[in-house]
Amino acid sequence: MTQPRPEPAAKPAADARPRSNHYRELLWHTLARQILLYFLPLLLLAAFFHFQYRRLIGESQRAHLMVLAEQQANTLDLFLRERLVNLGNLANDPQFARNATSPQHLAAALANLRRTSEAFVDLGVVDGEGNLVAYEGPVRFAGPISYASEAWFKRIAAESDVSIITDVYLGLRGQPHFTIAVKRQTAAGSLIVRSALSPDALHQYLKSLEGAREVNTLVVNADGAFQLVTGRIDAPSASAAVLPPREPRRGTLDPTGGGSMDSWAYAWLRETPWALVVHEIPGSGATRALLGRQSWILVFTVAFFFGMGVVIVIRARQIVGKQIAAERHEQELSGQLAHAAKLASVGELAAGIAHEVNNPLAIIAEEVGLLKDMMDPALGGRISPPDLQEHLDIIQDAVFRCRDITRKLLTFVRKTDIKIEPHRVEKILDDVINGMLGSELLLGNVEIIKHYDDDPRTVMTDRNQLVQVFLNLVKNAFDAMPQGGVLTVETRHRDKDMVVVVRDTGCGMTAEQVKRAFLPFFTTKPPGKGTGLGLSVSASILKNFGGNIYVESAPGQGTQFTIELPYAMPD
Amino acid sequence: MRPTIKLLIVDDESRFLHAIAARLRLRGFEVITACSGAEALELADRHTFHVALVDLKMPGLDGGQVLQALKQRQPFVEAIILTGHGVLESAVEMSKVGAFACLPKPYELDLLLLTLKQAYVVRLKRRFAAHPEIVERVDAIACDDNVIDVLARLRELEDGSAGS
């Protein structure tokens, strides 16, 4: 025996929920799908370009800063070298060496220096032991001054013919300054000329450099202590937040980490172990232009997405509208199909019922004829009231028989609304077998065996439609057994559903026929006898009830239909 | 007493059977009834029938089967099939197995009598196919409109010609 699980023959009936709900659900579904389809890749692309753009901006910004830092470092180097050269020229001047201790001379020299740069604050001459031998400047010393313990003096004392630039320190005056010193060997011993330079001047100088407006500039020494600060970075403090690495000699810094828009660049000076660090003032210059462009891009992207959203919504509404229309059309078609099938099976039934009606009609005709005969003098013409009564009773019986048959036909044909009520399936089976086809089955020598489950549980279903299903199956079974046979009807109750089995001992079906059994318009009956709709409509009815129908058959071995019917209708 | 035409009527509807039998008896037929095909064939072993009226749809043997079995036992018997079904389909099918006619239920008695007459004429013509002069006389008698009278005369003709 083959055991196919046929595809549902007809589409399950459309959603019974209100159309607007169904419409909204469909719309959301379509929208979600479209957005996923179009928005997601676009969004990913936009995000990708956004980050790429930011990265590029950051890179170009850092490159720009690095160039700036290098330029400023070079300029600062140049400035410091000039000051050293100024001081060196002074030290090399034999006339100066000779009159080094003369205050007038020293004052004139300082004035000369200050003409080259405002940065020179004072001028001092130090001997080989570190004692300040002559001084010209704003400080009035109370006693003799020795630099012997100063770090810069120790460094300069160890060598000859050197120049030195100190870090910025508060020094004796309590004013931040740094010292440059030049040592020359003369006949009279070491001559060390030192001068304090004001960082303010340096500061002003740095601020006047090209591109300085876009950035904060700071100078840190090798230990990371601030030397000079311009702009709005935190006030000078002992140690800076940033200490650039010694190698490479120039580069970019990312003190906050993680690709923020805060960019730093540095370059080490050559003259002294200072690093010049530039920090772009956020929202200034080039960055602002680039960022501005980016915000425009953002606006355009949002506008584009909005436009696409509108298009998608309009399109989705169109699609859903079309789908709803198609569904409604399909629903109508399926309704028409079901009705056609019903009419067709009514037609088949009508043939059977005509026979049922004609028999009592024939009785009536004969009885009436007989009564007439009895009253006919030519034929004898004698009738007694009891006789008359008997014949009239027979006629009445026959008339009521006719009425019962037509009533059954009407129950079947009458267009009734679908009423989902609890029904005992066994009762419906009995009604179908006894009421509608009993006499026909009897005539065809079909024995009927019923194996009903005792379980009294009912099924929520529409009686008329279920009757149609059973009628189709029983009729098919009957048609498959023209020579008579056994029709077995079984019911079994299970947890969530019940099983109805309709089995015949008829001619059976080939595997090919079994495969196509539930297809609409497929029939094994001769042309004009069957419509081929019975099983397909039965399958679709059962699908609507959340049930299923299977067929097992083999040629000559009969056919078994198995129905699974849940106790409750699906939502 | 005039010889009568012997009819066999087979139908599972007993009330119909009784009524039709009573009416045909009133018209001078000898009627034997059977409620089923099996009973009919049993009767056919004991009686010779001229014409049989057989219902098509019956439990057990149906009209067609009864007719075939009957014809085997009595080759000259003519059968009229009575049916509540559509006539055309049954008629074609039944004529294949040798029914003379199919009569839809309910029918007018006159039509039944006419059909009986025709069936009987055919029976005589088949039985006396080797005697053209008898066939000629059958035709002559059959022209008359009074069915009961014609049948009685034909019946007499059959008895009278049986020896020849």
Tokens representing A325? 């229309």
What strands, in cross-sheet order, belong to the sheet with A274-280? A226-229, A215-221, A274-280, A264-268, A250-253
Is there a domain that residue B132 lies in? no
State the alpha helices, DSSP H only, in A117-227: 151-157, 199-208
Sole residue written with tokens 């080939």: A510
Q: How far is B3 from chain A (nearest CA, A)?
A: 18
Interface touch A443/B58, C-beta < 8 Å: yes
ipTM above 0.90, yes or no: no
Is there a domain that residue B133 lies in? no
Looking at the partner chain, which of A355, A369, A445 has a beta carbon nearest the beta carbon of B23? A369
| Best CA proximity match to A254, nearest among A242, A268, A236, A246 | A242
What is the tally of structural domains in chain B? Answer: 1
CB atoms within 10 A of CB A552: 19
Is there a domain that residue B153 lies in? no
Instruction: A524-532: list long-range contacts, CB under 8 Å, 24+ apart.
Output: A525/A479, A529/A348, A529/A479, A530/A348, A530/A479, A531/A340, A531/A341, A531/A344, A531/A345, A531/A348
- At B5-36, the pLDDT tens digits run 999 999 988 889 999 999 999 888 999 999 99
Looking at the partner chain, which of B23, B58, B108 has a beta carbon nearest the beta carbon of A373? B23
**Measured between CB atoms, does B88 come within 8 Å of chain A?**
no
Is there a domain that residue B70 lies in? yes
Interface touch A366/B23, C-beta < 8 Å: yes
Is there a domain that residue B156 lies in? no
Q: What is the mean predicted confidence (pLDDT) over B80-91?
A: 74
- The CATH number of residue B15's host domain is 3.40.50.2300
Interface touch A354/B85, C-beta < 8 Å: yes
Is there a domain that residue B98 lies in? yes
Chain B neighbors of A358, CB-CB under 8 A: 83-85, 104-106
Q: Three-state DSSP class for A166?
A: coil
> How high is the mean pLDDT in each 10-residue block of chain A (571 residues)?
43 45 85 86 87 84 85 88 89 81 85 87 86 84 81 81 80 78 80 85 77 76 73 48 77 63 80 83 61 78 89 89 88 75 66 74 91 83 82 89 74 64 90 66 74 90 87 86 88 92 91 81 64 77 88 90 89 65
pLDDT at A500: 95
Looking at the partner chain, which of A367, A442, A443 has a beta carbon nearest the beta carbon of B19? A367
**Measured between CB atoms, does B60 come within 8 Å of chain A?**
yes
Chain A neighbors of B90, CB-CB under 8 A: none
Is there a domain that residue B161 lies in? no
State the alpha helices, DSSP H only, in A414-560: 425-430, 438-443, 463-480, 511-516, 534-544
Interface touch A394/B86, C-beta < 8 Å: no
Chain B neighbors of A441, CB-CB under 8 A: none
- At B37-81, the pLDDT tens digits run 999 999 999 999 999 999 987 878 888 889 999 999 998 999 999
Boundaries of domain holding B37: 6-120
Q: Which residues, including other chains, have CB under 8 Å from residue B25's CB and lie 6 or more apart?
A: B31
What residues of chain A have any CB closer than 8 angstroms to a CB in chain B? 351, 354-359, 361-367, 369-370, 373, 379-380, 391, 394, 397-398, 442-443, 445
Q: How far is A484 from chain B (nearest CA, A)?
A: 9
Interface touch B85/A363, C-beta < 8 Å: no
* Position B139 pLDDT exceeds 80: yes
pLDDT at A246: 78
The answer to whether B141 touches B150, Cβ cutoff 8 Å, is yes
Query: Any bridge partners for residue A216, and if so which?
Result: A279
Query: Any bridge partners for residue A560, and if so which?
Result: A503, A552
Interface touch B57/A369, C-beta < 8 Å: no
